[in-house]
Structure 1
Amino acid sequence: MKIKRPPIVESVSDFVEHVMGWTRGGERPVAFRGEQYTGWQTQPKVFRPDVGLYEHEKNAVRDLISIHPQEFQEDETMFDRLVRMQHFELPTRLLDVSTNPLVALYFATAEYKLNGKAEDGKVQALFLPEERQRYYDSDRVSCMANLANFTADEKREMAKAYRLNRTDFNKHPVVRRLLWFVRIEKPHFEPQIDPRHLQQPVFVKPKMSNRRIIAQSGAFLIYGARRLSNTQVDTDLRLSRATVPAGRKAEIRNQLERLGIHASSLFPEIDKAAGFVVSRYKNSGV
C-alpha cells in the first residue's frame, strides 16, 4: 500500500490552497497547530519525557502560584489557571492550537536546527467530532484540568482505575479525590464520571481573557491521561498535515508579515513588539 506523503508548502498562497481542500467526511478542521520541527510528537509539553515535569506537575503548579499569587487572583477554575500558566510558558497538559490556519503557519516557519542541520516544519489540521468540543466551563474540562492537582502516585492509581466500569470507577478513592477538587469549582457536581472521557483529549474554546489568546485566535486541546490504555484507540481525533521546507521558512514568514501575521501582532506584549522592531531593521540590510 502506497503511503500518501503530506503536501509541501512553498508559499502562503500554496498553503491556503491546501487548507481549502482539507476536509474529512465533509467536515472542516476545528483547529490548526504549527510546529517548527516535523519530528516532534503532537502532545502537551508536560507529557514530554525530555521536559521531565510530569512526575512533578502538582508541585510545579503550586510553585508558580506561590511565587506569583496576584497573577492568579481572578482565575475561577483550574482550567483558567492552566491557561495562564501556559501563557507564562510553564509546561502544562494543554496543547496550544489556533482557529486561524495562518497563525499555525507562522509557528511552523520558525527556524529549527538539529545537529546543525535546518529542519522542516509542519502544520496540522485537527478534526474532532462535536461531542469532543467543549467550552471553558465544561464539567469534562474541569475533571481533566484538575488531574494537574495529582501526585505522580495518584496519576498511576488513576491509570489503573481507567480499566474499571463506570460505577466502580466513581467509587475508587483516587477518583473520589478528583471529585473533591472538582467540587471546589462546582459544589453540586455528581460522581458520574465516564473514565473514557478522561483519556481522550478535548478541544476547548477558552475565555478570550488575554490579549495573546485574542491575537492568535487561540484555543486548546486539554489532555487527561498521558497515554490511552492498551485496549483503547482514539479513532475520533484525525490529523491532516502539510510540510514547510526549511529552505522556504524565511520567505513564507516574510509573506505572512505582509499580511499582518508577525511577532508583534501575535505577541502583543511590549517586549515582543520591541524585539520585532529590532529584527525588522536588523534584517533590512541598511
Structure 2
Amino acid sequence: MLATITVHSWDELQQALFADSWNEDLGRYRSRFAFRGLSDVSYRLETTLMRLGGPYAELEHHLLRNFKKYAHQRVVERDSIWHWLSVAQHYGLPTRLLDWTYSPFIAMHFATANIEKSDIDGVVWAVNYVKAHQLLPDVLRHKLEQEGANVLTVEMLTEVISSLSELDGIARDDVALFFEPPSIDDRIVNQFAFCSVMTSPGMALDSWLANHPETGRKIIIPAALKWEIRDKLDQANITERVLFPGLDGLSRWLKRHYSPR
C-alpha cells in the first residue's frame, strides 16, 4: 500500500517532504523525489487529457496534430514529438503530461495557493523518479545510464521515441517516465519544473503508484494547517509573483495577499 502521511505542523511537513533526501554515494542531501501539490486531497493525478473526457485517448493525436498545424513552427527548438508536447502542455493544450517540481516548497505553494480551498485538506504527492525509472524498458534505462542521468531530457527521448504510437508500444506494462522540458520561459525555470508521462494515455499516475507503492508517498496537509504554511511561504518569497513572472502572476499574488481569511 502506498505510504500516506498526515502532518500536523510545519515541522512535520518539512520532515515528511525532505525524508530520504540523503544520498550516500554523493555525501550530500540530494532528494530523488518529484513533488506535486494539489489544493484538494481528493484530486487525482489525472492529466489534462484525461480530464477532457469523452474518447480522449482517440483525440490525443488530433489535438497535437492540429496544434502543430496552427502553431508557428518557431515555437519549438526541434520538430520532435517531445518538443511539441512540452510546448503544448505549457500553453494549456490537453496532453498526457503531468507537471511536477523538484522543489518541495513550490509543491507546498500549489497545495495552499487556492484560498477558496482553504477549508479542504490539501496534498503533496512525492514520487521517487530513480525508483520509477528502474522499471523502464532497457532502451530507456540504457539511455539514462549512458548519459549518467536520473531524469530524461527531450533530446534523449527524441533519440529513442519519435511518435506517440512508439511511446504506447515501448513497454508491455505501463511505465512512468520523468523528463525535463526545454526552458521555454522563466515560469518553467522559476518553478523548477519537469514532467511525467505514462506510456498509456488512459493510466492515471495515482493508479500506477497503487501498483508500485515503493516508488512514492502521499503527504496530506490538513485544512487547519494551510494558513500557517501559506503565510510562511509568502515570507519565504514562494509566491505567484515569482512562480508566474509577469503582470498576471503579480495580480494573482496581490489578489490572494489582500483577500480576507
TM-score (normalizing by structure 2): 0.73
Q: Does the 8 Å contact 1:34/1:105 carry over to 2?
A: yes
Distance 1:237 1:226, change over 3 A: farther
Change in Cα spacing, 1:65 to 1:49, as seen in structure 2 (3 Å) is closer
1:195 equivalent in structure 2:
171
Q: What is the Cα deviation at residue 146 of structure 1?
A: 2.5
Indicate yes or no: 2:104 matched with 1:104: no
Q: Is the 8 A contact 2:76 2:83 kept in 1?
A: no
Pairing 1:122–2:114 present = no
Could you say which residue in structure 1 is the equivalent of 2:156? 138
Gaps of 5+ in 1: 163-193
Length, aligned pairs only = 233
Match of 2:186 in 1: 211
| Aligned residue runs from structure 1 range 229-244, under 5 A | 235=212, 238-244=215-221
Q: Which amino acid aligns with 1:226?
A: P
Question: 1:68 corresponds to which residue?
Answer: 71
Q: Please report how far the alpha carbon of residue 236 of structure 1 lies from its aligned counterpart in structure 2 after TM superposition.
A: 8.1
How many angstroms does 1:75 deviate by?
Answer: 4.2
The question of 1:220 aligning with 2:234 is answered no
One-letter amino acid of the counterpart of residue 283, structure 1:
S
Q: Match for 1:253: what amino acid?
A: R
Does the Cα contact within 8 Å between 1:93 and 1:224 map onto a contact in 2? no
Tell me: CA distance 1:48–1:22, structure 2 relative to 1, closer, same or farther (3 Å): farther
Report if the CA contact (8 A) 1:94-1:222 is conserved.
yes
Which blocks of at least 5 consecutive residues in structure 2 are unaligned? Answer: 25-29, 137-150, 204-209
Change (3 A) 1:275 1:47: closer
CA distance in 1, matches of 2:45, 2:22: 19
Partner of 1:94: 97
Deviation per CA, 1:49-92, whole angstroms, max 9, x where unpaired? Answer: 64763331122223333443256254432211211111112221
**Residue 140 of structure 2 corresponds to which residue in structure 1?**
none
3-state secondary structure, aligned to 1:225: coil
Change over 3 Å in CA distance of 1:4–1:75 after alignment to 2? closer
Q: Structure 2 vs 1, CA of residues 112 and 253 (structure 1 numbering), >3 Å: closer, same or farther? A: closer
Cα distance change of structure 1 residues 207 and 122 upon mapping to structure 2, 3 Å threshold:
same
Give the match's secondary structure for 1:138.
Answer: helix
1:13-55 CA deviation, whole Å, 9 max, x = no partner?
4321222324699894331111112222223221346476333
Given that residues 125 and 217 in structure 2 are in contact (C-alpha distance below 8 angstroms), is that contact kept between their aligned partners in structure 1? yes
Give the share of equivalent positions with the same residue, in percent: 21
Whether 2:50 is the aligned partner of 1:32: answer no
CA 1:70–1:139 in 2, change beyond 3 Å: closer, same or farther? closer
* 2:10 is the counterpart of 1:7: no
CA contact (8 A) 2:171 2:199 kept: no
Using the TM superposition, give the Cα deviation of residue 279 of structure 1 relative to its aligned residue in structure 2, in angstroms: 3.7
Cα displacement string for residues 107-129 of structure 1 (whole angstroms, at most 9, x for unaligned residues): 11144879xx9421110111133
Distance, in Å, in 1 between the alignment partners of 2:255 and 2:115 is 21
C-alpha separation in 2, matches of 1:38 and 1:50 = 21
The answer (yes or no) to whether the contact 2:115–2:256 under 8 Å persists in 1 is no
Tell me the residue number matched to 1:275. 252
Determine if contact 2:50/2:202 at 8 Å carries over to the other structure. no
Q: Which amino acid aligns with 2:122?
A: G
The answer to whether residue 23 in structure 2 is matched with residue 17 in structure 1 is: no
Deviations 1:175-223 (A, max 9, x none): xxxxxxxxxxxxxxxxxxx434x83111112333321110000011122
1:266 maps to what in 2?
A: 243
Aligned counterparts of 2:246 and 2:196: Cα–Cα separation in 1 = 24
Q: Compute the displacement of 1:276 (Å).
A: 1.8
Separation in structure 1 between the aligned mates of residue 58 and residue 73 of structure 2, nearest angstrom: 26
User: Bigger shift: 66-75 or 240-249?
Assistant: 66-75
Q: 1:137 is aligned with what amino acid?
A: E
Give the whole-Å Cα distance in 2 for the aligned partners of 1:202 and 1:75: 20
